[in-house]
Structure 1
Amino acid sequence: MKLSKKGKRRFAVYCALVLAVAVFTVPAYATDDPIQVVNTFAKEILTLITGG
């Protein structure tokens, strides 16, 4: 299958997006307390942003 330069670029962007979603998916563990779920999710996102 031949792709133009534009097609190759779009395919590369799509692959990078799929890889980023796969790598940065964070599980949010549900508990009986909804506030605990929000706190856990916020902590995971901050960990991703700060890198540790």
Structure 2
Amino acid sequence: MVDFLEKVTPRASREEMEAHNASIRKESVRLFKERGFNGVSVAEIMSGAGLTQGAF
């Protein structure tokens, strides 16, 4: 089954992963400054970064 998933599931390239990571960091910093650490959820960060929560 693992072989099947590897063939079907698209993987992000290293460059895409780095871009996603940068987007997540940028959005999390923005939201933390705006609302404080306890006022932000993972879903909000990921949505603001243009990614799904599952990508976290």
TM range (shorter): 0.3 to 0.5
Structure with the largest fraction of helix? 2
Higher RCO structure, 1 or 2 (CA under 8 Å, sep 6+)? 2
TM-score, structure 1 normalization: 0.45
Which structure would you say has the larger Rg? 1
